[in-house]
């Protein structure tokens, strides 16, 4: 039974806890800790076992943490990763669209980030 639970792709486990801690750190204003926990969590095999929508939703949160930490370029790349993982998490959620708009407005964005904003109708 325990082996079955460990191998299941149910989205709860050590990686999910690490992602929740990353989000909590960000919400408490510790963007450096949030980014560190995110980077640690996505390195392991458990990350790939999470459902795509869970991974993409976390990537949107991580992109916000990077932007709040002053790293707009990394925020844009992480948001693109979220779009590649589960496009609806970026394209259909107002918070994600707002984040993309902020990334574009804060400074020169990578061409692929600007392209996504254009595709979504977020640029003039």
The residue extents of the domains of the chain are 2-119
Position 10 confidence tier, pLDDT thresholds 50, 70, 90: low
Can you say whether residue 121 is alpha, beta or left, with left for phi > 0 and alpha for psi between -120 and 50 degrees?
left
Mean pLDDT in the chain?
A: 90
pTM: 0.87
CA gap 104, 54 in Å, rounded: 25
pLDDT tens-digit map of 19-62: 999 999 999 999 999 999 999 999 988 999 999 999 999 999 99
Using pLDDT thresholds of 50, 70 and 90, give the confidence band for residue 85.
Answer: very high
**CATH architecture of the domain formed by 2-119:** Alpha Horseshoe (1.25)
């Amino acid at each position: 039974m325990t082996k079955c639970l460990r191998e299941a792709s149910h989205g709860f486990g050590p990686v999910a806890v690490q992602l929740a801690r990353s989000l909590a750190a960000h919400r408490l204003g510790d963007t450096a800790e949030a980014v560190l926990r995110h980077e640690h969590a996505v390195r392991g095999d458990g990350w790939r076992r999470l459902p795509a929508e869970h991974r993409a939703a976390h990537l949107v949160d991580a992109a916000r943490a990077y932007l709040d930490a002053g790293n707009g370029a990394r925020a844009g790349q992480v948001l693109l990763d979220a779009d590649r993982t589960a496009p609806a998490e970026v394209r259909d959620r107002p918070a994600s669209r707002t984040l993309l708009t902020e990334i574009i407005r804060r400074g020169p964005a990578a061409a692929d980030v600007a392209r996504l904003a254009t595709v979504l109708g977020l640029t003039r």
